[in-house]
Chain A
Amino acid sequence: MKIQLFVPCFVDQLFPQTAFNMISILEKLDCEVVYNPQQTCCGQPAFNAGHWNESKIVAQKFLDDFDPENYIVTPSGSCTGFVRNHYHKLLSGKIPPKDLGVKNPLLRNIFEFSEFLVQKLDYTKIKASMDGVGTYHDSCGALRECGIKSAPRKLLENVEGLKIVETEDSEVCCGFGGTFAIKYEPISTAMTEQKVHNAVEKGADYIISTDLSCLMQMDGYIKKHNYKIKTIHIVDVLSRGLNPKYSSNSGYCVS
């Protein structure tokens, strides 16, 4: 199966190892992973800030950089949700009538990583191992934009040595929200603080999620306040114990 890799802008800039780990996993599952080095961003940041003209141009480039007929897989529920649910509005400038099927097949072919593994590859039993207690944070993009809830949990359940605990606020936003994190820093960090505290209280060693933007936000709080708990992307959990082609010679292992 041929898969186009989409590495979101901030993953590209801040967390390259996660993208490499994702390639390793997909290749291990016999996928042919292709990466178009021209790609940059889906356009969401400007869209969310209200600057639709700028967003539109970048979204157009995104459409040019990918083949709409093949799967696109990305380690982000947020970007997936944006392309799926908002591209037609952004690009047509109109609200389509309800239930009107989306014309561009690309909007149907983009998947968040864990969702793709479980839904499309029907694969939940990756041989990975990681010791410790983890709690899964539902990113708003994955949960509410894409309806992803069970897939990542199923994958994590099968990780050897990892015990998963649920916090009561697993579905509550981490407080990031793009420009919100900067424009309203006090509200944003108040939200993060509670997420981190609740995870710590549950005895978790790791906060695991599908979205590095959430993890980055929580990690910033954790580091500043010297907590022991760590954040880790689900891809980086699942790639542990694999014998990855790429991660051996890289210096940016997450954890």
Chain B
Amino acid sequence: MRTIQGKFHRESQSKAEDLEHRRMMNHALNQSEIAFQNGKQQFQNLDKAKEDAQSVKEKATIHLDRYLLEFEDRFTKNGGKVIWARDGKEALEAVWKICAEKKAKKIVKSKSMVTEEIHLNAFLQKKDIEVIETDLGEYIQQLSEEPPYHIVAPSIHKSKEEVAQLFHEKLGVRPHLGPEELTMVARRQLRTEFQEADIGITGVNFLLSDIGGVAITENEGNARMVTAFPNTHIAITGIEKVLPSAKDLELFWPLLATHGSGQKVTVYNSIFTGPKHRNETDGPEDMYVILLDNGRTNILSDPEMRESLHCIRCGACLNVCPVYKNIGGHTYNTVYGGPIGSVITPHLSGMKEYGHLSHASSLCGACTEVCPVKINLHELLLKNRRKSVEQKNTFRLEKFSWYIWKRSMLSRRMLNTANGNTKERMFRYLFKKSWGENRAIPTFPKKSFNEQWKERNSKIEK
């Protein structure tokens, strides 16, 4: 039962002590920070924009049922098909059914965290279908057979040199290519894949309820290729991605771009409202949208946690998180890493298994401060901690310690019984191991402030 936590402990230690990893991450995330600081200049009043976005998402979440049905209605009228999936298994079956119908052999994909969540690639490969990631970062991750390191920048942890080496090994190109040449290699490689693919699968940035549309944001143009070449387009999304109206994009596109990559708007922004119509020349013949629940309604039904569904997956909270920076994305051992991952994973995959992530935070609040939809991330971590205690996941010793703490804090007499030396010895005894090798144990003065104050005042009174 505790093995996931044990693994986290081991891996977080080895990453935190890995100085090369630290250097890489600091460098990469500093770049993001600089870009963000520049990008946010486009807002006259960023805080107001964030407040507006928060209230739009609040509205969307509270009336989620209505907006989803409205989306389905419009999208279906436009010739699209909507599939509701309660969990990953249902979503995979739906994809498989479409593949079988279309006799698909090859699928191209643009970036999608939801497909990571349901482990789509592994599933399709087992069915003998070739899947190719077309976002450059995801492509690199696929070549190295690793899950993404970051929800927006999947290969953020890899240096140019590592990527050059990877391309050399996996694609047989010359070693030591520069970034531009590497991009050209990927482009050439992917070009044929787009042309040959039977189905294109994308994620979704926003579901637009009032027009029955799917909005996709990207910087490489690959999502456009994925949706333009193959005859079938499947968009897979969590049900929380709804915006009431296409008009909301004027706020959400720049917010997402600035917080995700420091841009004013991303390079390519597309809205898909269904398959190609009879009088149109371009676009897929069939378009499906799979609406995935997979635990999200658990969160929806809990008023305390509900706001975590407002997330637009911009990745900003990861960029500013000192814990993420120090331990990296894979250590979390979850689909969604960083603060938002630590908040939602216990509710999607089990408090017992993932509750420890809520404790792996100094609660510094940098995530809450940056979040474009004002999710109170560090407070939600606190709530997770409380919920975990309520669900009796606490060790008996820990429970007992807090009982003793409570008793001491209720009684000044008890606090004043031992002298400084004894307290220091006690501290050593209790925390020697967990205080670690890198910090000196604090020294306790002989007497507390309270005792000294009392002594002085009694002298004055005399």
Contact = CB atoms under 8 A, between A and B. Distances in A.
B452 A16 contact: yes
Contacts of B410: 40, 57-58, 61
Contacts of A48: 363, 382, 385
Interface stretch (B10-18, B107-115, B172-180): B10-18
A11 interface: yes
B330 to A, nearest CB: 15
A7 B450 contact: yes
Interface residues of A, number: 69
Nearest to B33: A168
A56 to B, nearest CB: 10
A173 B362 contact: yes
Given A47-B382, A173-B366, A185 B436 contact: yes
A186 B447 CA distance: 31
Given A95-B303, A190-B17, A252 B445 contact: yes
Interface stretch (B133-141, B192-200, B220-228, B399-407): B399-407
A180 B409 contact: no
Interface of A: 7, 9, 11-17, 19-20, 35, 37-41, 43, 45-52, 54, 57-58, 61, 95, 140, 144-145, 171-173, 175-194, 216-217, 219-221, 223-225, 246, 250-252
A96 to B, nearest CB: 13
Contacts of B436: 185-186, 189
Dominant SS among interface residues on chain A: helix
A179 B423 contact: no
A187 B445 CA distance: 28
A38 B416 CA distance: 11
Interface string B362-396: 11111011000000000000101111110000100
Contacts of B409: 9, 40-41, 43, 58, 61
Contacts of A17: 445
B403 A54 contact: yes
A181 B359 CA distance: 10
Nearest to B441: A220
Nearest to A193: B438
A255 B409 CA distance: 29
Given A58-B406, A95-B304, A179-B359, 6 more contacts: A40-B409, A50-B387, A58-B409, A175-B362, A180-B360, A190-B16
Interface stretch (B77-85, B163-171, B248-256, B319-327): B319-327
B13 A20 contact: no
B415 interface: yes
B442 A220 contact: yes
A20 B326 contact: no
Contacts of B453: 35, 37
Contacts, number: 186
A220 B359 CA distance: 22
Contacts of B359: 179-180, 183-184
Interface residues of B, number: 64
Given A14-B442, A192-B439, A140 B365 contact: yes
B408 to A, nearest CB: 8
16 contacts: A15-B449, A40-B408, A40-B411, A52-B389, A57-B406, A144-B364, A144-B368, A172-B322, A180-B360, A181-B362, A186-B12, A189-B16, A220-B440, A220-B441, A250-B452, A251-B445
B48 to A, nearest CB: 15
A20 B16 contact: no
A221 B437 CA distance: 9
Interface in B295-350: 303-304, 322-323, 326-327
B43 interface: no
Contacts of A191: 322-323, 326, 362
A194 B361 CA distance: 17
Contacts of B66: none
Contacts of A145: 365
Nearest to B406: A54
Contact of B434 (A16, A185, A221): A185
A100 B6 CA distance: 43
Contact of A221 (B361, B439, B447): B439
